[in-house]
Chains A and B, each alone.
Chain A
């Protein structure tokens, strides 16, 4: 069920009605019903895979809770050897956590990477002169497997750390893990933030409905009028970059950045809007990333929920781990204080971005994408003092408009280069495209735009849509509350905006028999 289609909108409308007609203490059951129906509509088989993960993590959560309880009981006993009990408790919890995380991520790897790895092994065998034939597994990739795997893993780590109480109701836990809006695009929600909203229910709120509808409309407009038209052009450039100049290759990568942003953030807007219809506020996932002044800031604005997850559940555990700390101390002794201090965050950063790259999909190009980002951010940490010196010597103020513009452009450039890796079919293709860009940059012939399958009217529409997106983003960046500002306008202006948005969608999507819905880039990753 495409989240832009009429069936999904009718599904939402029907379950919203059911939700608000249900007594508040049972409302979570309505949400669970909606989630189950949504997932079953996707695939009954995949629903069993989901149920397996839910059941396993639910049980693991209960076991971890029991272990906490055991530790607390033992510690409360008189004359207890507190350090020994704590050590024992921690060891047991860690064992349970490691086992369940291994199972969880192994399941994810099996579905997402297994066949790709088999293919890689076969190719490697060919290179070595071996005939390795593997039969790929015929697996249906469960919808939202990455999102629910990360979300349940976060829950388990929170329970392990004692930050969250384990959920004892299986139905309520299932709702948390299988909450339908997050299944398509994420974001990855935190148990502590999402679960109370899902369980407590909410009274009918026109504000929530209005905000939800506005978010859905905005997300759809971004997807339909920017991301979708660009998809063909981007595919053309990445598929046939050799036929164009290097400048066109670069333009293709830049357009991919725009496409991906509008696709991903548009999808997240739709699902956040859908959640909002039920009074549920999901985590914000994008904050105008292309206004970031550094790569580090970009990743604090892009796919925020993943970044936060990685920070809390991978970066800090790594950075604070005993082996890395030992390494840091050792380097401090041998290479000096600064090197020792930087080594741990640099290694952790590279590790985190490797994980981000792998999260995107199998293949060395994604590994390279992770290394590119992690490497650059580590490098910026290392070079930060020298950069500061140069900046001071040049007298560049932090708030200087031109310096800010330079920083934004520099960040965008680095992001665009990174996208050579994340969009290309393979590492070799990405490197060839990059090489082509550098060696055959050439002029950007305007005639090339006609080769992208877009007519003049399409480009005009795209330009207008991008103009609106830029204006809205700029206002948001300057702190202007767009929705509140619009609410203060005359009702005719508000009506015009709503009517315009609806009319655009009706004309170009819902009544347009030629409209081909393009799958979200991160749908079902």
Chain B
């Protein structure tokens, strides 16, 4: 080949290499800029750049929505399902992490121009007043060109010739993808929210445990910082207000919950100016400082409040009395009441008292009860006499037993609990719970909850149909009787996920609720759903209501289990862990997750029992 030809060939090689890279980026489309023609994986694209990918999603699905949430990442905690219910709308959460109020205006203008907009929820935190027009330095932060007026050609070229590694990463992630969110796939594309299924199963309660896990995120040194972009923020809000007024859009402005540590960074003057400037432009709901602001458990980190708090905010705005809210939670601020609202906020801050919204609930765990413990007895069995002694101690020390429903009501609806509550539980559903424990409970005016294995209920002699003898289990007849008296409540210990391996013949034996070795998430989901539904079906038929609490067999569970069980609508789960206190927090569903339980056996001494009850 002559040198001239080689030079032509080299030029062709450069062109081809650039074309190949662009084609790869366009087809794999890690930002969703080109409509993600192959994968249509917006959960990934939005994680890379929510600005670009969310608008790209809306271009394809604008007909599915008529209302939008605009804000930065803290707005992710507003549930679109709840908003849809309250406003009879079809919401999309257009929040974007790292957004500023200039972006909000751009988004609002784009929505008005390109979509049907009935409602707009605008969320404002403190960060909105600290920075404005922070730029689009990285390809992960760029705004779509059609919102900013930049050259469309330049915009598309930037993404066509972006780092091919980003496309390769998407391909690689595609093969690692699973049902639950991972670091590369944190968005739920249809709602636009973060997919917090895993994040929200974090067990919360014991403040010491929470502080040791998250303490650094909440460490602040109070200061006198200013909020330099108050005017820009107010101007942006005014622009959105005018836009909504011109187009007949219902605008709801929320000053979102703020963790007190972050609030304390700023000077009183700056905070007053911010609220005043906002109130001059628009009426808004102010949730910035409320009693929950003083408790880090309501926050993922210092600048992001939990979904549960989002639920409380929406319940307050739309007057849903079924949802717990503390006193002085949220104020509707107008230009008229703004000064008095701010004055009260600083002169009489809504500092809460722990006993008003938290409760320490020790949980005791029993199994089989026998008349007398002999050498051949089950190690976990407790004699009638010992049980009597232990229940007497509870009664004498002033403990009041509670039911699962009472715990749930306390957390979800702000219900009350008695002084010194204790939750007494029995696992497996032995007949002895009916024949021996029930009378003793009645004797001391206590109640308990039995977690029965659905497939064993009513089996008095043999394990299922195998002919293998077992300890007798009560049936729904006894359950009905106990429920009627209110002494014993029957909840689930799964239908058939506490199998006895020695008596089973199948290849897939589930001695607990954990996934089988190598089991795929989809199969595990099907197995759990089927088990829960079977138990529920029988219970609803026999006892007239579904169950609300599940004790994990052998106390074992993993993140998949918690996700699926709570997705199935079961608010209360119990493990056999003993590593933290059970501190129930009003408004925080996670304080009912995988609660710890302490075994009480024949040999538990009164002092040991007292230690369990006092959490020492």
| A residues adjacent to B (C-beta < 8 A) | 205-207, 209-210, 213, 487, 491, 494-495, 498-499, 502-503, 506-507, 511-514
Contact = CB atoms under 8 A, between A and B. Distances in A.
B21 interface: yes
A209 B7 contact: yes
Nearest to B22: A511
Contact of A498 (B9, B139, B161): B9
Interface stretch (B10-18, B37-45, B206-214): B10-18
A503 B17 contact: yes
A491 B165 contact: no
A506 B7 contact: no
Contacts of A205: 3
B161 A511 contact: yes
B334 to A, nearest CB: 48
Contact of B1 (A209, A487, A503): A487
Nearest to B4: A206
Given A210-B7, A494-B9, A512-B163, A507 B21 contact: yes
Sorted nearest first, the 4 A-B pairs with minimum C-beta distance are A206-B3, A499-B13, A503-B17, A210-B3
B568 interface: no
A168 B255 CA distance: 79
Given A206-B3, A209-B3, A210-B7, A502 B14 contact: yes
A207 B5 CA distance: 10
Contacts of A491: 1, 5, 9
A495 B161 contact: no
B142 to A, nearest CB: 13
Contact of A513 (B14, B18, B139): B139
Contact of B164 (A494, A495, A502, A507): A507
A290 to B, nearest CB: 30
B240 to A, nearest CB: 33
Interface string B1-36: 111111101101110111011000000000000000
Interface string B499-542: 00000000000000000000000000000000000000000000
A513 B163 contact: yes
Given A511-B21, A512-B163, A513-B162, A206 B13 contact: no
Contacts of B163: 511-514
Nearest to A491: B1
For this complex, into which size category does the number of interface residues on chain B fall? 20 to 34
A499 to B, nearest CB: 4
Nearest to B12: A495
Contacts of B1: 487, 491, 494
A514 B13 CA distance: 24
A475 B21 CA distance: 33
Interface in B129-186: 139, 161-165
A511 B5 CA distance: 27
A210 B17 CA distance: 18
B6 A511 contact: no
A47 to B, nearest CB: 33
B17 A502 contact: yes
B9 A495 contact: yes
Contacts of B20: 503
15 contacts: A205-B3, A206-B7, A209-B7, A213-B7, A487-B1, A491-B1, A498-B10, A502-B13, A502-B17, A503-B13, A506-B21, A507-B165, A511-B21, A511-B164, A512-B165
Most buried by B among A205, A206, A213, A491: A206
Nearest to B163: A513
A502 B19 CA distance: 12
A506 B17 CA distance: 7
Given A213-B7, A499-B16, 20 more contacts: A206-B7, A207-B3, A210-B3, A210-B7, A210-B10, A491-B5, A491-B9, A494-B1, A494-B9, A495-B9, A498-B9, A498-B13, A499-B13, A502-B17, A506-B14, A507-B21, A511-B21, A511-B163, A513-B163, A514-B163
A162 B454 CA distance: 108
Contacts of B21: 503, 506-507, 511
Nearest to A487: B1
A279 to B, nearest CB: 13
B14 to A, nearest CB: 5
A216 B162 CA distance: 24
Contacts of A498: 6, 9-10, 13
A499 B9 CA distance: 9
Contacts of A213: 7, 10
Contacts of A507: 17, 21, 164-165
Contacts of A503: 13, 17, 20-21
Contacts of A513: 139, 162-163
Contacts of B16: 499
Contact of A506 (B5, B10, B18): B18
B141 to A, nearest CB: 13
A511 B162 CA distance: 6
A14 to B, nearest CB: 16
A206 B3 CA distance: 5
Contacts of A206: 2-4, 6-7
A514 B6 contact: no
B165 A210 contact: no
Contacts of A499: 13, 16-17
A494 B17 contact: no
Nearest to B6: A210
A209 B21 CA distance: 26
A282 B91 CA distance: 69
A281 to B, nearest CB: 16
Contacts of A210: 3, 6-7, 10
B1 to A, nearest CB: 5
A491 B17 CA distance: 17
Nearest to A501: B13
Nearest to B18: A506
Contacts of B139: 513
A194 B546 CA distance: 93
A456 B339 CA distance: 62
A168 B13 CA distance: 45
A507 B307 CA distance: 41
A502 B9 CA distance: 12
A503 B24 CA distance: 12
A68 to B, nearest CB: 43
B354 to A, nearest CB: 47
Contacts of A506: 14, 17-18, 21
Contacts of A512: 163-165
A210 B4 CA distance: 8
A205 B7 CA distance: 11
Nearest to A512: B163
Nearest to B14: A502
Contacts of B14: 502, 506
A209 B18 CA distance: 21
A265 B67 CA distance: 63
A269 to B, nearest CB: 17
Nearest to A488: B1
Contacts of A487: 1, 6
Contacts of B4: 206
B80 to A, nearest CB: 34
Most buried by B among A210, A213, A491: A210
Nearest to B25: A511
Nearest to A489: B1
A247 B609 CA distance: 59
B130 to A, nearest CB: 27
B164 to A, nearest CB: 5
Nearest to A495: B9
A209 B163 CA distance: 29
B15 to A, nearest CB: 9
A325 B459 CA distance: 113
A506 B12 CA distance: 14
